[in-house]
Amino acid sequence: MFKEYETEILAPDEAGLSRAAELIREGKCGAFPTETVYGLGANACDGEAVARIFKAKGRPQDNPLIVHVSDRAMADTVCEFTPLGEKLAEKFWPGPLTLVLPKKDTVADNVTAGLSTVGVRMPSHPVAHAFIEKCGLPIAAPSANTSGKPSPATAEHVLDDLRYRIPFVIDGGPVTIGLESTVVNATGDYPVLLRPGKVSREELAELCGQVLLPGEGDFDKPASPGMKYRHYAPQGRVHVGRNIGELEVLRLDLSMHRMRMPVLILSNATADEMMRRGARPHEIYRLGDTKEEIASNWFTALRYCDKTGFMDIITEEFDEEGLGLALNNRISRAASKE
Ligand code: AMP
Ligand code: MG
């Protein structure tokens, strides 16, 4: 393999952050922790630096990047705030909500894939905040994984995909949320939910009165370009059961007809029920009890399957309340064949 860089693993301290900021200001890209997943960042105003992100990830050029900022003044340098954008930022920033707003010319064109809007987010993770502040620049950053693969929840996941391809990763330990940010278009009167995440549809509706889905409402909002790809996916096939009965049929069917055993990635409650029905503990990967735990372990579970070589993965569908909508979205993207 061609080693472009000897990837530096930096501590999230003064010396580590200064080194990271130095590399970013030289026009390099590098990985850093956020509360959602690890990001691969570069100066959002430098098209050549941004191009390095696309190259390292193998990301399609038409999939726009989110610009990360450390404070509101920095946000104002990259986008125009609408009244709706103001309201959402006031309530949910810093945090896991990306606002799609009209872009300013400071942002390099390849960040937004030529769109007139830009996705902007202010992360709440203390290391992400300190890193962006040290750079003193808005940081364009997608998730720090090879394009299409499960998002990284640890610095080790980043290195599994991008070692030798990027100059540094700041190791801030495991992320807390584990699913990417909620993305809303905030250019109109109501938020349009482009990608579900930790900030739930219910919370957005409570603040704004109404939440639209792409294509809903009396105006045609652009959909989120990245959502069309098979995404967030392991190498094996993901099969989804909508209830215990379907999970049981999938398990029996796959166990009978394949040489390799399937693995069941399940919540603790569903795992217990499947074991009552004959599944063995070694066939099961337990995600946890609450939706929060399940979300934070989801991508780690998929990466475990890749490392272990499981070619068939059986998982469940959740109820859509709160984080359930975001979980089901990532599961259906992973199961998609396109
Ligand atoms: P990632 O950073 O890999 O989680 O991907 C960011 C996602 O945010 C993209 O795949 C898009 O779906 C969405 N996004 C970013 N910028 C825009 C924009 N200007 N308009 C619509 N969606 C966007
Ligand atoms: Mg991504």
From residue 165, give the alpha-carbon distance in Å to each of 139, 187, 232, 274, 294.
19, 36, 20, 42, 30
Ligand (nearest to CA of 34): 1
With contact defined as beta carbons under 8 Å apart, do 23 and 30 qualify?
yes
With contact defined as beta carbons under 8 Å apart, do 288 and 178 qualify?
no
In degrees, rounded to 5, the angle at the alpha carbon of residue 162 between the alpha carbons of residues 158 and 164 is 130
Using the mean position of ligand 1's atoms as its centre, give its distance from the Cα of residue 19 in Å. Answer: 28
Beta carbon of 63 within 6 Å of any ligand 1 atom: yes
Atom of ligand 1 nearest to the CA of 142: 2
**Hey, do 8-208 and 237-335 end up sharing a CATH topology, with the first three levels equal?**
no
Beta carbon of 143 within 6 Å of any ligand 1 atom: yes
d(CA 22, CA 97): 28
Using the mean position of ligand 2's atoms as its centre, give its distance from the Cα of residue 9 in Å. Answer: 21
Token pair belonging to 111 = 């960040």
Using the mean position of ligand 2's atoms as its centre, give its distance from the Cα of residue 231 in Å. Answer: 8
The pLDDT of residue 121 is 98
Residues whose CB is less than 8 angstroms from the CB of residue 298 and which lie 6 or more positions away in sequence, other chains included? 178, 179, 265, 287, 327, 330
Token pair belonging to 84 = 């709706």
Residues whose CB is less than 8 angstroms from the CB of residue 289 and which lie 6 or more positions away in sequence, other chains included? 267, 268, 269
- Residue of minimum CA distance from atom 5 in ligand 1: 142
The pLDDT of residue 221 is 46
Ligand (nearest to CA of 114): 1
338 residues of the chain, pLDDT tens digit each: 678 999 999 999 999 999 999 999 999 999 999 999 999 999 999 999 999 999 999 999 999 999 999 999 999 999 999 999 999 999 999 999 999 999 999 999 999 999 999 999 999 999 999 999 999 999 999 999 999 899 999 999 999 999 999 999 999 999 999 999 999 999 999 999 999 999 999 999 999 999 998 877 544 445 666 555 667 889 999 999 999 999 999 999 998 876 778 999 999 999 999 999 999 999 999 999 999 999 999 999 999 999 999 999 999 999 999 999 999 999 999 998 76
Token pair belonging to 319 = 């109820």
Q: Of 301, 294, 250, 307, nearest to 274 (Cα)? A: 250
Distance of CA 42 to the CA centre of its chain: 17
Atom of ligand 1 nearest to the CA of 117: 19
Distance of CA 110 to the CA centre of its chain: 19
58: left (phi over 0), alpha (psi -120 to 50) or beta: left
Ligand (nearest to CA of 299): 2
The pLDDT of residue 257 is 77
Question: What pTM was computed for the model?
Answer: 0.94
Beta carbon of 297 within 6 Å of any ligand 1 atom: no
Beta carbon of 112 within 6 Å of any ligand 1 atom: yes
| Residue of 40, 100, 111 to test ligand 1 pocket, by largest number of atoms within 8 Å of CB | 100
Beta carbon of 118 within 6 Å of any ligand 1 atom: yes
Q: How many CB atoms lie within 10 A of CB 281?
A: 8
Beta carbon of 152 within 6 Å of any ligand 1 atom: no
Task: Report the amino acid identity of residue 200.
Answer: S
Domain 237-335: which topology?
A: Rossmann fold (3.40.50)
Using the mean position of ligand 2's atoms as its centre, give its distance from the Cα of residue 259 in Å. Answer: 32
d(CA 98, CA 121): 5
Domain 8-208: which topology?
A: DHBP synthase (3.90.870)
Q: In what order do the strands lie in the sheet with 312-316?
A: 237-241, 312-316, 263-266, 284-286
The pLDDT of residue 136 is 98
- Residue of minimum CA distance from atom 23 in ligand 1: 224
Average pLDDT, the chain: 94
Residues 106-133: tens digit of each pLDDT: 999 999 999 999 999 999 999 999 999 9
Beta carbon of 224 within 6 Å of any ligand 1 atom: yes
- Which residues make beta-bridge pairs with 9? 169
The pLDDT of residue 256 is 85
Token pair belonging to 252 = 């029996």
The pLDDT of residue 220 is 47
Provide the residue ranges of all domains of the chain, joining segments of one domain with +.
8-208, 237-335
Using the mean position of ligand 1's atoms as its centre, give its distance from the Cα of residue 121 in Å. Answer: 11
Using the mean position of ligand 2's atoms as its centre, give its distance from the Cα of residue 128 in Å. Answer: 17
φ and ψ at residue 212, rounded to 5 degrees: -100, 155
